[in-house]
Chains A and B, each alone.
Chain A
Amino acid sequence: MQDMRDAFFDVICENALHDDLIYLVTNDMEVHSLERFSSKAPDRLINVGVAEQNMINVAAGLASTGKRVVVFGISSFIAFRAYEQIRMNLCSMNLPVTIVGLGHGYSFSFDGPTHHAVHDLAVLRTIPELEILNPGDSSVAAASAEYALTAAGPLYVRVDKGEYPNLHGSSSDLTAGFAVLKPVQKITIVATGSLVVTALKVAQTLEERGVLVGLVDAYRVQPLPVGLAKELQPASMVLVAEEGVSSGGLYSAVRDVSQVSSEVRYLGSGIPGPQRIAYGSREWMVEQEGLDEASLFAEISQLAELPSEASQVLRG
């Protein structure tokens, strides 16, 4: 287990210490793994202050002079406040700038809807030039950092806080854009980011009860790999799980690449409703949205037509 931020920023830090062309730009955020970098190369850690529009513009200008720029800050403030700067100055200019969005989904659960990054994937997916990675484990997070340092164009990476397992081994190849964690079945979950681990637990519990459910980790949300549609062909029920809005998010992306037919049901297990003006733990927030392990288990049990008592097991 490793904090996803460490998995990502350890790679960035190690490379940046030895490469003068790498610049880090932030809106007054601190990341533990970058302490070593900030003490050794303070001139290449640019804190623009709480000025997200300027942060993206400065990053764009820097990148246009041959620098490799990694921007980091709270997802929601970058994706929404600096949308035009991202669209115009990074994406229409096709500059190799990576935006690291911290604050995945409800991870700033106690700070209200201003801080909830539940619309970021939906909003940023409207910019086709922007590649989007949403790691669900430490290995994809580390591989995303490696990729960020070589990508030819703009990239958005959602990096969560908290401990994550390594689900993919040591491979740093993100070419496929997705990984099959449980072979595709009639009922298959396509999960991204924080929901990958949750979905894996659900699939494992169901497996123990003799129900096989497929699970795909869709870590590249844009462009969503075309191969994913082919992979999903044996499925008749596809449940798309994400800590974000379904409409416009991964759910919409999966439907976009799939041959939608009446034979296949697509279910969006994401955040359906209006902005949640509520304060509590992330676990509580996620439970409110029905995205916790017990809720997903119940949802899939129902789809699999398991007896209702079985679906109550996880709820205790």
Chain B
Amino acid sequence: MSEQYGGLKKTARDIRAQALERAYASKLGHLGGTFSAVELLVALYKIPYIRNLGHDGDSINRDRFILSKGHACLALYPILLDLGLIDSEKLDSYGRNGGLGGQLDISIPGVDWNTGSLGHAVGIGCGMALGVSSPPRDIRIITLLGDAELSEGSVWEAIAFAGDFALSGLTVIVDRNRLAVTSEIGDDSIYKELGIKLDSFGWSAMEIDGHSFPEIDQALSTAVESNRPTLIVANTVKGRGVSFMERNLRWHHGAPSAEEYKAALEDLSFSTEGA
């Protein structure tokens, strides 16, 4: 098991390096929220928790994943490359006119939904979970949200709906990196006793270290077997893996300079060793 996680850690480092390289080359990207989500995405795609990927074959009988925080796409593209869903030429098109962009769309193999606007994925996931429940099928519906996204009222409309309809096939992961674009997202309102709130809506809730593969694996294995919709608060660090980007609002979006790029690459080689 630990050997498996060792492989995942290496993959996570590679993903960060590739994301950094693409952002540096194109001068475009949201590295802070990309790096906070890397372990979550690697676990989902590589353990894997998302099965029967891609648009080929049966369009109905496959798991679905919506990266609601689509601006973390730079972490996803290298995973899709690793899985053979896109080629390196496609990855290299990032930031070029007509190439891969700063959000996801369904023309990209392995991508289930067009992204860019927050607050939609839980409701869409509800519809998907309802759709695959009749006739009942072993299909997982998983979404990954940013933590600022829970301010969107439509997320709570969907949380109430999923509870009312007991949509057990739905798993929502929240990348709790504690930083929005301009401000910190503390524990005083939405995140205060979130587990109790969710329980009252008929959900299961968990809180984990979102950079720990054993914890992510454990939480997801519980979530996909749960008889309730499940929300996992994954505590993460925005900019994780590059010391000067960590917990730094400046790195919500923006590209590194040549010096920063070099320093970040060196940082990446060491900083996540212990994760």
CB distance from A99 to the nearest CB of B (A): 14
Interface centre among A43, A56, A66, A89 (most CB of B within 10 A): A89
Contact B127 A64 (CB under 8 A): yes
Contact B129 A93 (CB under 8 A): no
**Which residues of A sit under 8 angstroms from B165, Cβ to Cβ?**
46
User: Which stretch in A47-55, A129-137, A239-247 binds the other chain?
Assistant: A47-55
Assuming the contacts A51-B160, A53-B153, A54-B157, asked whether A59 and B127 have C-beta atoms less than 8 A apart, the reply is: yes
Contact B124 A60 (CB under 8 A): yes
Assuming the contacts A43-B134, A65-B131, A67-B131, asked whether A54 and B126 have C-beta atoms less than 8 A apart, the reply is: yes
Contact A61 B124 (CB under 8 A): yes
**Which residues of B sit under 8 angstroms from A44, Cβ to Cβ?**
134
Contact B130 A58 (CB under 8 A): yes
Q: Of all chain A residues, which has the CB nearest B59?
A: A66
Whether, in the assembled complex, B19 has its beta carbon less than 8 Å from a beta carbon of chain A, the answer is no
Measured between alpha carbons, how far is A85 from B153 in the docked complex, in Å? 13
Instruction: Bits for A59-74, please: 1 = Cβ < 8 Å to B, else 0.
Output: 1111111110000000
Whether, in the assembled complex, B113 has its beta carbon less than 8 Å from a beta carbon of chain A, the answer is yes
**Which residues of B sit under 8 angstroms from A53, Cβ to Cβ?**
119, 123, 153-154, 157
Query: Range of interface residues on chain A?
Result: 20 to 34
Number of interface residues of B (CB under 8 A): 30
A contact set with B: CB distance below 8 Å: 20, 43-44, 46, 48-49, 51, 53-54, 56-67, 84-85, 88-89, 92-93
Contact B154 A54 (CB under 8 A): yes
**Which residues of A sit under 8 angstroms from B127, Cβ to Cβ?**
57-65
Measured between alpha carbons, how far is A20 from B133 in the docked complex, in Å? 13
Measured between alpha carbons, how far is A84 from B152 in the docked complex, in Å? 13
Measured between alpha carbons, how far is A239 from B125 in the docked complex, in Å? 46
Assuming the contacts A89-B120, A92-B114, A93-B114, asked whether A61 and B129 have C-beta atoms less than 8 A apart, the reply is: yes
Whether, in the assembled complex, B86 has its beta carbon less than 8 Å from a beta carbon of chain A, the answer is no
Contact B117 A54 (CB under 8 A): no
Instruction: Enumerate B110-161 residues with CB–CB distance to A below 8 Å.
Output: 112-114, 116-117, 119-120, 122-132, 134, 153-154, 157-158, 160-161
Contact A88 B117 (CB under 8 A): yes
**Which residues of B sit under 8 angstroms from A93, Cβ to Cβ?**
106, 113-114
Can you show 6 pairs from A to B with CB atoms below 8 A apart? A61-B125, A64-B112, A65-B131, A65-B132, A88-B114, A89-B120
Interface centre among B59, B122, B130, B165 (most CB of A within 10 A): B130
Whether, in the assembled complex, B60 has its beta carbon less than 8 Å from a beta carbon of chain A, the answer is yes
**Which residues of A sit under 8 angstroms from B123, Cβ to Cβ?**
53-54, 56-58, 60-61, 85
Q: Of all chain A residues, which has the CB nearest B135?
A: A20
- Of A20, A66, A84, A92, which contacts B60 at CB under 8 A? A66
Contact B128 A64 (CB under 8 A): yes
CB distance from B106 to the nearest CB of A (A): 7
**Which residues of A sit under 8 angstroms from B106, Cβ to Cβ?**
93
**Which residues of A sit under 8 angstroms from B131, Cβ to Cβ?**
61-67
Instruction: Enumerate B90-126 residues with CB–CB distance to A below 8 Å.
Output: 106, 112-114, 116-117, 119-120, 122-126
Assuming the contacts A53-B123, A53-B154, A93-B106, asked whether A61 and B130 have C-beta atoms less than 8 A apart, the reply is: yes
**Which residues of A sit under 8 angstroms from B126, Cβ to Cβ?**
54, 57-58, 61
**Which residues of A sit under 8 angstroms from B119, Cβ to Cβ?**
53
Assuming the contacts A66-B60, A93-B106, asked whether A48 and B161 have C-beta atoms less than 8 A apart, the reply is: yes
CB distance from A134 to the nearest CB of B (A): 27
Q: Of all chain A residues, which has the CB nearest B134?
A: A43
